[in-house]
Each structure stands twice: as structure tokens, then as C-alpha cells.
């Protein structure tokens, strides 16, 4: 057994010793979307810094704790704050939380993020159900020794985003007051935003939105045979789409504006999982 796997087991044990629920669903909350975890009932909050070997998030707007409890009658573990490639983590550290979720018994994850809109039919403040991703621009999370405990050396990614979960989410698009579309998410390493020419190139490649997270987590989740639903909040149009500079503040302002609809959307889906 690798020392990394032992670390995962130690972290999992620390969490198991503090919760009474048997979680089956995990949620990863992106920039500014952490308020969803406020709605969790009978919650147990565990700071990342207290969990053995757990990385600690460094981004403003990412609180850095696990919130465990019941939401919509489902036993959930929520990651409030995540670990980005641009923060400098090794890839296996950046997906530590997803793997701990798997060891806790979780088989479905809802992964959310803030993203820039590339598709010209998109608008700031809408949501996008992720149907697939383009992750060509960074190494795979699975680079290095394969963790046989989770899955095979060469895992399939044909259904990286679970079709049934996409259909379930699609059936709820009229529940909220902001538009929801479907599309392809692209991973960009960050932390700088893209250039307008990079966005043009990504559009030609088939991308609808771009962000700095999610893809490493989705790869690790699929490797471990977990079913994934991905939802992006289009917080801004990507670089060059409109003649305006991008800022993290804009990302945060948009998530603040749409978060009640976003939370309602996720809760309605969760209720039927």
C-alpha cells in the first residue's frame, strides 16, 4: 500500500470518528457558492487544517472545511473550498478530498465551479450543466503510480459526466429564475485568466466555458467509479468576448447575485438523487 493511500485512510478515519451519518453523496462547492452548506442540517463541520494530511485552501472565498450532515433528506459531505492546480499542489493532493469521499462510501458527487463563458450564446449569471470536458492543458491527476485501490491504470472517460444525472439536472432547469444551458467545460491552469486569443482557440476546439478547477476532480472521481454531476456558474464572459477586463471580484459578485437560484437548483436535484 502506498504511503499516499495510508494518508487517505488516516484522513478518512479522522472524519468517520466525528460523524454519525453514512454519506452517499458528495458536493464540491466552488468560488462564492459555499453558502449551500449553511442549509445542511445536523451538521458537523471539520476544518481541513484539523484533518490529517488534508491540504488547506488558500483562495479568498474558499473557506476550507468539510460540512457533513443532511440536506434534502440525503446524507452528504460537502467540501467548502477546494484545491486548485494553480495553488501549487501536487495533483494527488488536489484530489485528496474526492478520494477521501470515496473511502467514506460516497459514490455520487456534485461538483460546482465558477467559469467564464466562451459560447457566445451564454450570458453572465447563468448556469451550465457540464456534459463533457477538455482537460488537455494540464497533466492528468492520475499521472504517476496507479492507485489500484481506486481503479484501473487507463480509466474510461466516455461518460465522465453521468448521463442520468445530466438528465435529472435538465429536468429542473425551469425551477429557477436564471437560464441553465448545457455545455463543455475546459480546464485552464491559471491563476492568470486566459488571453482573448486563447479563448478564441478554445471556442474552435469546442469549449463552452472555462475554469481553473473541476477537471482534476472529475478524473479522480471517474477513476474511482464515482458518478459525477458538474455544474458551472458562468460568472463572467471569458476574456475578449466583451471589451472589459476580468477580475476575481466580478466572479465573486456574480456568484453572490445568483447563489440563491444556484442553491435551489442543486437542492432540487439532490432531493431526487
Q: Which residues belong to the active site? A: 31, 62, 84, 86-87, 114, 212-213, 236, 248
Query: How far is it, in rounded angstroms, from Cα 172 to Cα 180?
Result: 9
Which residues make Cβ contacts (< 8 Å) with residue 205, sequence separation at least 6?
134, 186
The interface region with ligand HPA, picked from 63-71, 89-97, 158-166, 234-242 by CB under 6 A, is 234-242
Least distance from ligand HPA to the Cβ atom of residue 56, Å: 21
Number of shown-chain residues binding ligand HPA (CB under 6 A): 14
* Residue 215 touches ligand HPA, criterion: CB under 6 A: no
Q: Helix or strand or coil: residue 271?
A: helix
The secondary structure of residue 239, as a DSSP letter, is: B
Nearest to 74 by CA among 32, 37, 24: 24
End-to-end CA distance of the chain: 33
Least distance from ligand HPA to the Cβ atom of residue 62, Å: 13
Pairing of strands 126-134, 180-187: parallel
Angstrom CA distances, 92 to 2, 10, 268, stand at 12, 16, 32
* Residue 188 touches ligand HPA, criterion: CB under 6 A: yes
Nearer to ligand HPA, 49 or 189 (CB): 189
* Residue 28 touches ligand HPA, criterion: CB under 6 A: no
Cell of 37: 452548506
Least distance from ligand HPA to the Cβ atom of residue 139, Å: 18
Cell of 75: 446524507
* Residue 194 touches ligand HPA, criterion: CB under 6 A: yes
Least distance from ligand HPA to the Cβ atom of residue 22, Å: 34
The interface region with ligand HPA, picked from 20-28, 155-163, 205-213, 218-226 by CB under 6 A, is 205-213
Instruction: List the interface residues with ligand HPA, window 105-124 (CB under 6 A).
Output: 114-116
Query: How far is it, in rounded angstroms, from Cα 46 to Cα 48?
Result: 6
Positive or negative, the CA dihedral 188, 136, 98, 132 is positive
* Residue 126 touches ligand HPA, criterion: CB under 6 A: no
The interface region with ligand HPA, picked from 68-76, 222-230, 231-239, 256-264 by CB under 6 A, is 231-239
Query: How far is it, in rounded angstroms, from Cα 235 to Cα 51?
Result: 31
Nearer to ligand HPA, 169 or 246 (CB): 246
Residues at the contact surface with ligand HPA, assessed by CB under 6 A: 114-116, 188, 193-194, 210-212, 235-236, 238, 246, 251
Amino acid at each position: 500500500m502506498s504511503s499516499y493511500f495510508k494518508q487517505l485512510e488516516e484522513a478518512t478515519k479522522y472524519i468517520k470518528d466525528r460523524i454519525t451519518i453514512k454519506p452517499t453523496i458528495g458536493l464540491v462547492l466552488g468560488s462564492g457558492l459555499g453558502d449551500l452548506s449553511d442549509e445542511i442540517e445536523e451538521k458537523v463541520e471539520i476544518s481541513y487544517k484539523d484533518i490529517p494530511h488534508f491540504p488547506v485552501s488558500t483562495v479568498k472565498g474558499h473557506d476550507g472545511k468539510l460540512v457533513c450532515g443532511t440536506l434534502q433528506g440525503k446524507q452528504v459531505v460537502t467540501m467548502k473550498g477546494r484545491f486548485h492546480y494553480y495553488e501549487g499542489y501536487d495533483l494527488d493532493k488536489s484530489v485528496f478530498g474526492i478520494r477521501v469521499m470515496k473511502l467514506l462510501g460516497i459514490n455520487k458527487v456534485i461538483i460546482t465551479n465558477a467559469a467564464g463563458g466562451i459560447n457566445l450564446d451564454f450570458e453572465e449569471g447563468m448556469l451550465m450543466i457540464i456534459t463533457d470536458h477538455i482537460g488537455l492543458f494540464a497533466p492528468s491527476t492520475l499521472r504517476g503510480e496507479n492507485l489500484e485501490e481506486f481503479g484501473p491504470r487507463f480509466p474510461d472517460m466516455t461518460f465522465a459526466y453521468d448521463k442520468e444525472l445530466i438528465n435529472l439536472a435538465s429536468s429542473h432547469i425551469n425551477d429557477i429564475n436564471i437560464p441553465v444551458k448545457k455545455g463543455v467545460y475546459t480546464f485552464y491552469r491559471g491563476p492568470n485568466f486566459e488571453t482573448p486569443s486563447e479563448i478564441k482557440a478554445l471556442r474552435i476546439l469546442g469549449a463552452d466555458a472555462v475554469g481553473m478547477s473541476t477537471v482534476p476532480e472529475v478524473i479522480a472521481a471517474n477513476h474511482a467509479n464515482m458518478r459525477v454531476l458538474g455544474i458551472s456558474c458562468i460568472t463572467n464572459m471569458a476574456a475578449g468576448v466583451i471589451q472589459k477586463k476580468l477580475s476575481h471580484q466580478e466572479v465573486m459578485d456574480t456568484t453572490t447575485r445568483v447563489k440563491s437560484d444556484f442553491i435551489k437548483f442543486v437542492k432540487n436535484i439532490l432531493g431526487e438523487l
